[in-house]
Amino acid sequence: MRLPTPTVFILAPAAIGAVGAGMVYAQQSPRMTVLVLSQSSPDASGPEPLEGPSPGAFASALRRRGIARPLLREGSGVLLPAEGAVDPGAVARAREALDRGREYLRLLQLPEAESSLAEAARGVRGVGTPDAWEIRREADIALGVVLLEAGRREAALRTFMGLLSQDPRLVLDPVRYSPFVQEALDQARATVALLPRGGIRVETTPAGLDVWIDGRLAGRSPVAAEDLVSGDHVVAVVAPGRPAWSRVVGAPASEAATIHVLQGAGADPVQGAVAIGRILEADRVVILSGGPDGRIRGLVAEVSTGRPGVARESDSEENLVLALEEELGFRAAGVADGNGQIGSGRGERAPWYEKWWVYAIGVGIVGGAITTMALVDSGGDDTDDLN
C-alpha cells in the first residue's frame, strides 16, 4: 500500500523518534543487579541491625539514579546461621519443666501442672530437632489433658489443634489416655483436616544437609515437603560439625514457601555477603555499616570473584550512592573521593556497542531508509496520475 506524501512526512519522524527512544531506553535501563546489606558487627552471619544504615533507603536511591536494579535480603527467603541458632540449654530446661509438669499432674495440682507444661512447650517451640520435638509433643498432650481436667475444653482443643497441625498423624496410646482425651483429640483432628494445605521447600548452602520438618526427617537438601497444614512449621537443618539450625517457618495456603539456609557463610563479612549475592544472582553486593561521626560506610564486592572494592563514606544513603557510582560500574562523569565528593575522572570505558554515536548512526540509517522509501512511493504515484 502506498501512502500519500503528507502522511509519510508525518509518520517518518514519529517512527524515527520511537526507534531512538527505544535505543536510548535500552542504553539507560540498568542491567546491573546490586544486593544491599546492612552490617554493624564483624559477624557476617549475624542478623541485620534494627538501627543504622538503611538498606531500603540506599536501594531507593539506586533506583532513582537508574544506576542498577537493587535487591534486598528481606523477604528473599535467605536465612543466616545466627537467625536459627539453637540455645544449647533449651532442650535440657524444657525437659526439666516437662518432668515437673507431669509430677504436678500426677498430684492433681492443675495450676502448677499447666504452668510447667506450658513452659516446657514454649521452651522448644522453635526447635525442630528430634529430641526437642519429642518434648514439645509430650508437653502439649499433657497440657491438653490438664485443660480437660480443669473443664477448659475449648482451650484443650486449641492446644491439640496446634499440635495436630504440625503432627497430623499423632495417635495416643489407649492404655495411657482415657476415651475422654481420645475424643477431644479426634474432634481437633476433624477440624484440622478442613484447613487449607501448603508446602515448604528447603535449600541449603552447602547442599546435602539433613532437613527435619516438625520433628520428622524430610530428607537431604534441597527437599520439599508438600501437603502441610497451612500455618507455622518448625524446620531444622543439621550439618556435621556445625550447631543445629532451627526456626519456625510459615507455609502459605495453596503454595510452597522456599527458604535457603546459608550454613556455609563463614565468619568473614565480605564472603558471607558474597555468598548471599550468589544465591540471589546479584552482580555486586553493597555492605553498609556505620562510620565515625554518624557517617555511613559502603563497601562494594564483586559476586563473581568475591573481591572487595574500595570502601567509601558519606553522610547519607543518597550521597553514598553518588560516592559509589564508579565501584558500581556506573559510567559517571566523575569519580568519587573518600569524602563522597565527585571529582573529575573518566569513569569506566563503555564498550563500542554502548557508545552514543552507534545509536545515532542506527537512528539515522533507519530514518533515512523510511524517508527514501516514502519518497520513492510518492514519486511512483505521481507518474501514474500523469499517465
Grid coordinates representing 185 are 483429640
What pLDDT does residue 294 have?
Answer: 83
Distances (CA, A) of 333 to 33, 312, 326, 345: 21, 18, 9, 7
155 and 203 both lie in a single domain = no
Examine residue 240 and state whether it is found in any structural domain, yes or no: yes
Is the bond preceding 6 in cis, omega lying within 30 degrees of 0? Answer: no
Q: Domain check: are 229 and 246 in the same one?
A: yes
pLDDT digits (tens, 9 = 90+) for 350-372: 455 555 555 667 666 766 666 66
Tell whether 209 and 187 lie within a shared domain.
Answer: no
What is the extent of the structural domain holding 240?
197-262
DSSP letter, residue 51: S
Domain boundary among 176, 192, 208: 192
- DSSP designation for 4: P
Q: Give the integer Cα–Cα distance in Å for 344 and 1.
A: 55
Query: Are 232 and 178 found together in one domain?
Result: no
Decide if 94 is inside a domain: yes
What is the spatial distance between Cα 236 and Cα 204, in angstroms, rounded to a whole number? 11
CA nearest 142: which of 100, 179, 183, 193? 100
Give start and end residues of each alpha helix (H) in the chain. 5-28, 55-65, 90-106, 110-123, 130-149, 153-166, 179-192, 269-279, 317-323, 356-386
What CATH code is carried by the domain that includes residue 236? 2.60.40.1120
| DSSP state letters, 302-357 | ETTT--B---EEESSHHHHHHHTTTTTT---SEEE-TTS-EEE---SPPPGGGSHH
Q: What is the value of pTM for the model shown?
A: 0.71
Number of domains in the chain: 2
Residue pair 34/320 in contact by the 8 Å Cβ criterion: no
For the chain, the straight-line distance linking the first and the last C-alpha, in angstroms and rounded, comes to 20
Block residue for cell numbers 501514474: 384
10-residue mean pLDDT series, the chain (387 residues) = 52 50 45 83 42 85 87 90 89 96 95 96 92 94 96 96 93 92 96 95 94 94 94 92 90 91 77 90 92 86 88 90 82 40 38 55 68 61 44
